[in-house]
Amino acid sequence: MSERQAQNINVFWFLPTHGDGRYLGTTEGGRAVDLPYLQQVALAADNLGYYGVLIPTGKSCEDSWLVAAALAPLTKRLRYLVAVRPGLQPPSLAARMAATLDRLSEGRLLINVVTGGDPIENKGDGIFLSHAERYQVTREFLEVYSRLLKGEKVDFQGDYLRVEGAEVLFPPVQENGPPLFFGGSSEEALEVAASQIDTYLTWGEPVEQVAEKMAVVRRRAQERGRTLDYGIRLHVIVRETEEEAWAAADKLIAHLDDDTIAAAQKIFSRMDSTGQARMSALHGGSKDSLRIAPNLWAGVGLVRGGAGTALVGNPQQVAERIREYQALGITNFIFSGYPHLEEAHRFAELAMPLLPLAGNVEKRQRTVNTGPFGETIGGDRRPVKK
């Protein structure tokens, strides 16, 4: 893949395998996330024209590979961004899994390389390495993994990983394997991105901070003779008016109390993730100053780890903020919203018509009564566009 100031963007949605609901930090308005519900979200994303879906990873989530395998046969165009975990998976096993799922999905697999930033969770998974050591494992993992998916037979001896005669007998559909996505803000993470990754991901910080980080990654990649694509992970709250959008943002955290926020922030503070520290710094664990940039709100990060900011506004405002990130060179936008089924429809209907979309946006022949018309008026006539 190559870096470009593209005219078109890929818009992803999110599969909430760690839970969903109408409010954050409470059981009020909570929603069961079972296979039928995930099927609804995936089918909605596929039919609405989203390029793909991100499936999260970690002990708080259903396993991303099994979820993707369950949903891929039900969808036609939707791509699945699924995590590989250096240190948890041997690279040879991960390469075979990726090749298999790429074949079974007919080339609709994308790979999210996740090193992991919570030392407590890592210990539960049997990983007792420092931050720097984990990224060295990631570098060695990707060296073996990428060569295997290019069809090589690999002998490799690193500081942490060793393989002899490793190979993948059945190749993936996508040449050289599914594209690699990766996010991280530490010095070690930026080096991995610049040297081994196809698409560098950032969480939704203000435009100026994103630009600074991307400039570092871009320069380091160029020093290695490489060019990258870029992506951003954001929540979104879009309504027909700005007032409605901000009211919806306030409502999303209406049941959050100080004790719940403090408990979440204590968990985030134990992490050695530079990106998580940058997210937490945007709000400081307080509800007082959550509007951190034009139409950018940090309320989600009060209790949610990882991506903690949302674009909030009317369709024109949200589209304008997206175009500002696009102007930096970002072409992959991974969105989510609560609840994820309804918000997938709302964003697709209100905002996506204003965006220069690539991917799954070909015009499809519509059959009778599939619209977009709305309900028949008086049982006699279709409404017309004003």
Q: What is the per-residue pLDDT across 58-112, written as a single tens digit (0 to 9) for each?
A: 999 999 999 999 999 999 999 999 999 999 999 999 999 999 999 999 999 999 9
The answer to whether the beta carbons of residues 271 and 308 sit under 8 Å apart is no
pLDDT digits (tens, 9 = 90+) for 258-287: 999 999 989 888 888 888 888 888 888 888
Residue 5 vs residue 183, higher pLDDT: 183
pLDDT digits (tens, 9 = 90+) for 114-139: 998 888 898 999 999 999 999 999 99
Amino acid at 27: T
Q: What does the block give as tokens for 164?
A: 């002899």
Q: Which helix (H) or strand (E) holds 199?
A: strand 199-203
Q: What does the block give as tokens for 83?
A: 């995590």
pLDDT level of residue 295 (50, 70, 90 thresholds): very high
Alpha carbon dihedral 176, 180, 186, 192, in 10-degree steps, equals 0
Tell me what pLDDT residue 273 has.
84
Tell me what pLDDT residue 6 has.
54
Quote the CA–CA distance of 259 and 372 in Å, as a whole number.
46
How does strand 296-297 pair with strand 291-293?
A: antiparallel
pLDDT level of residue 5 (50, 70, 90 thresholds): very low
If one counts every other C-beta atom within 10 angstroms of the C-beta of residue 163, the result is 18
Quote the CA–CA distance of 303 and 265 in Å, as a whole number.
7
pLDDT level of residue 303 (50, 70, 90 thresholds): very high
Quote the CA–CA distance of 160 and 255 in Å, as a whole number.
46
Q: What is the total residue count of the chain?
A: 386
Question: Alpha helices, DSSP H only, in the chain?
Answer: 35-48, 64-71, 91-104, 119-124, 131-149, 187-196, 207-223, 242-252, 258-269, 274-281, 315-327, 340-350
Tell me what pLDDT residue 285 has.
82
- pLDDT (average), residues 168-188: 96
Tell me what pLDDT residue 364 has.
47
Q: Rounded to two decimals, what is the model's pTM? A: 0.92
Which residues on neighbouring strands pair with residue 180, listed in sequence order? 111
Q: How far is CA 215 from CA 9, 17, 115, 196, 219, in A?
A: 20, 33, 22, 17, 6
Specify the DSSP class assigned to residue 178: S
Q: What does the block give as tokens for 290?
A: 């959550």
Q: Which residues contact 154 (CB under 8 A, 6 or more apart)?
A: 144, 147, 148, 163, 165, 166, 167
Q: Give the distance between the most distant pair of CA atoms in the chain.
A: 74
| Highest mean predicted confidence (pLDDT) among 146-155, 287-296, 365-374 | 146-155
Residue 180 vs residue 380, higher pLDDT: 180
pLDDT digits (tens, 9 = 90+) for 334-345: 999 999 999 999
- pLDDT (average), residues 243-265: 95
* Percentage with pLDDT > 70 across the chain: 94
Specify the DSSP class assigned to residue 303: T
Tell me what pLDDT residue 107 has.
98
Average pLDDT, the chain: 92
DSSP 265-295: HHHHHT---HHHHHHHHTTTT-STT-EEETT
Tell me what pLDDT residue 306 has.
85
Tell me what pLDDT residue 366 has.
46
Say how far residue 334 (Cα) sits from the centre of its chain: 5
Quote the CA–CA distance of 177 and 380 in Å, as a whole number.
53
| Nearest CA-CA partner of 12 in 328, 315, 357, 375 | 357
